[in-house]
């Protein structure tokens, strides 16, 4: 997230104008109704709700009272399943100072396009009707807390200091509590929160060794391996090194990782496919393996993955 002391982050880096005046359909009063968060209807204490292309206008208005965190996710996205419970936990603990709007990008393509969701999970905030990009990808709980603290500072600077009523919220949270994580998944989560990515990788690898069909472990492993590879990397230096040595496989792999971590998926795939066409032998094998790993991380159903797979196949045969 940008420096919270700067108002420049509220200049509208994302274009939501096409959704701003969209007519809204009557919202239900139960969980998942943005209108229920206004305090005028039953269910006003709900801090976590689903939002759709049709109800987004209500959420924009709500962001003039309280910061709204928008979680863009999809059912097929493994990292989304890791991040969403963390977001919900932190939002509920903030006791009405922030709300969480969940957007299923598959069911709401207009919102996905408006937020330019090139990679998910993607988390954006709305403050006074303006979007504030926060982060992309599953991140540790401590980092989520730090980003939310910055968001609250930023919101206060722009007069968004409301608090929604939370009476009954704890009981509601208990009703929707998810089952406990399997032990190895829990160990991986704890390691991620501590910033110990090698330990998280080991836990996910063990989970896959015990159950090769564990899709959540496979998704988590890809995400954590990516985080481990890009942790502490000098972005400017890495790009300069790759530009100076276009056939240096390690340099190109690193920049591709940085691109995916930053949401520039097409750039990453294009870079590696160009490199794959230009090298041979063991270098080609390394590039292909990284491509396949990134395909799994982004999601096999993602259109960008489908396009890149077709090009990879044509290069292979």
Cα gap 269→264, rounded to integer Å: 9
Cα gap 112→51, rounded to integer Å: 12
> Which residues are catalytic, by number?
77, 80
CA distances from 317 to 281, 296, 311, 312, 313 (A): 15, 22, 10, 9, 6
- Residues in contact with 273: Cβ distance below 8 Å, sequence separation at least 6, in sequence order: 291, 308, 311, 312, 315
Torsion sign, CA atoms 203, 205, 209, 214: positive
CA distances from 28 to 24, 71, 118 (A): 12, 20, 30
Nearest to 5 by CA among 160, 131, 157, 124: 157
* 122-127/68-73 β-pairing: antiparallel
Residues 19 and 110 sit within 8 Å (Cβ to Cβ): yes
Cα gap 65→38, rounded to integer Å: 9
| Residue given tokens 């993955």 in the structure block | 305
């Amino acid at each position: 997230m940008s420096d919270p002391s700067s108002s420049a982050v509220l200049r509208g880096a994302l274009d939501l104008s096409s959704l701003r005046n969209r007519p809204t359909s009557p919202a239900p009063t139960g969980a998942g109704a943005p209108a229920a968060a206004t305090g005028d209807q039953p269910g006003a204490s709900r801090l976590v709700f689903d939002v759709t292309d049709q109800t987004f206008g209500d959420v924009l208005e709500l962001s003039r009272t309280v910061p709204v965190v928008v979680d863009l996710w999809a059912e097929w996205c493994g990292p989304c399943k890791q991040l969403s419970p963390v977001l919900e936990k932190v939002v509920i603990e903030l006791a009405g100072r922030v709300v969480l709007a969940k957007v299923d990008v598959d069911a709401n393509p207009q919102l996905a396009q408006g937020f330019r969701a090139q990679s998910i999970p993607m988390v954006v905030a709305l403050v006074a009707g303006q979007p504030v990009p926060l982060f992309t990808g599953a991140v540790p709980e401590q980092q989520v807390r730090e980003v939310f603290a910055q968001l609250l500072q930023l919101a206060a600077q722009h007069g968004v200091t409301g608090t929604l009523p939370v009476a009954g919220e704890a009981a509601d949270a208990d009703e929707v509590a998810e089952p406990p994580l399997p032990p190895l998944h829990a160990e991986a989560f704890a390691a991620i929160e501590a910033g110990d990515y090698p330990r998280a990788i080991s836990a996910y690898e063990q989970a896959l060794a015990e159950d090769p069909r564990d899709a959540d472990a496979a998704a988590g492993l890809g995400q954590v391996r990516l985080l481990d590879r890009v942790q502490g990397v000098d972005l400017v230096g890495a790009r300069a090194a790759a530009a100076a040595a276009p056939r240096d496989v390690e340099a190109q792999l690193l920049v591709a990782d940085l691109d995916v971590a930053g949401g520039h998926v097409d750039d990453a795939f294009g870079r590696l496919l160009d490199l794959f066409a230009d090298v041979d032998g063991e270098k080609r094998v390394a590039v292909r393996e990284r491509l396949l790993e990134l395909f799994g991380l982004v999601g096999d159903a993602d259109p960008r993955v489908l396009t890149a797979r077709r090009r990879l196949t044509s290069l292979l045969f």
